[in-house]
Amino acid sequence: MNQEKTVSEAINFRRSVRVYDAEKPIDKNVVRKCLEQASLAPNSSNMQLWEFYHITSKDIIAQIAPFCFNQNAAKTAQQLVVFVTRKDLWKKRAKANLGFIDKTFGANNPKSEQKNREKVARNYYGKLIPFTYTDFFGILGCLKYIIFSIVGIFRPIYREVRNSDMRIVAHKTCGLAAQNFMISMAAINYDTCPMEGSDTWRVKNLLGLPFGAEINMIVSCGIRKPEGVYGERLRIPFEEVYREV
């Protein structure tokens, strides 16, 4: 394996590879390490509402490929990673953050040298997060949205409080982890392709995912064949998308 690339080099190297070389296997332990780096991605409120399903079984890959409409990126993949959102685990993740606060400041320690910071953090994970994530068939979310919209007339306020809003937050967060993963893979000359074109219900059923889980994307992994990169990279001229304010 060549020397690890810089971040800029990895970004430029990364392409969505559609055909992988069957004669060049990749090390599952190295891919796992890249997934560990994926877990360091920035995420909303440090809730980490994600899971990574690392598929190394050729049999499972063969079963998933038709669910990805037999894309070459799936059929020729050496390994797959299924990025999954777990908004349903918000209580568990909030509890983990509160546990970290106990470890940092001491459990219910009112004399902490950083007691103001501690109080804000405890209120955030003990009160604000439950208020934001709690919903009942969308009814509470709509009620919160109306209340916050009224308050928002008079002062700036967070407005994404509906169940559908929090679902978007979870998917944005998971997408950041997937990007971390793909750049980490590119840094060591491993190739990837993010695939949104799939029958997520069938993949979810195959992997035995719980009801509250949602598939964010499936990323295929391997070593590219020359024909696996479909031509030069097309990007809209930067001047069309860049705005300095």
Report the residue count for the chain: 245
Higher pLDDT, 113 or 179: 179
CA distances from 177 to 64, 82, 215 (A): 22, 11, 13
Separation of alpha carbons 218 and 174, rounded Å: 11
pLDDT of residue 110 exceeding 90: no
Higher pLDDT, 172 or 163: 172
Its pTM stands at 0.92
- With cut-offs at 50, 70 and 90, classify the pLDDT of residue 118: confident
pLDDT > 70 in the chain, percent: 96
Average pLDDT of 59-81?
98
- With cut-offs at 50, 70 and 90, classify the pLDDT of residue 44: very high
pLDDT at 160: 87
CA distances from 128 to 65, 73, 87, 133, 196 (A): 42, 42, 16, 9, 33
pLDDT of residue 79 exceeding 70: yes
| Run of H or E residues at 218 | strand 214-222
Domain locations in the chain? 7-87+166-231, 89-165
CB crowding 189-218: b at 16 or more within 10 Å, else e? bbbbbbbeebebeebbeebebeeebbbbbb
- With cut-offs at 50, 70 and 90, classify the pLDDT of residue 141: confident
Check whether domain 7-87+166-231 has CATH 2.40.30.110, yes or no: no
pLDDT of residue 1 exceeding 70: no
pLDDT at 2: 65
Average pLDDT of 79-92?
98
pLDDT at 114: 59
Compute the mean pLDDT over every residue in the chain, rounded to the nearest whole number: 94
Higher pLDDT, 117 or 91: 91
pLDDT of residue 117 exceeding 90: no
pLDDT of residue 112 exceeding 70: no
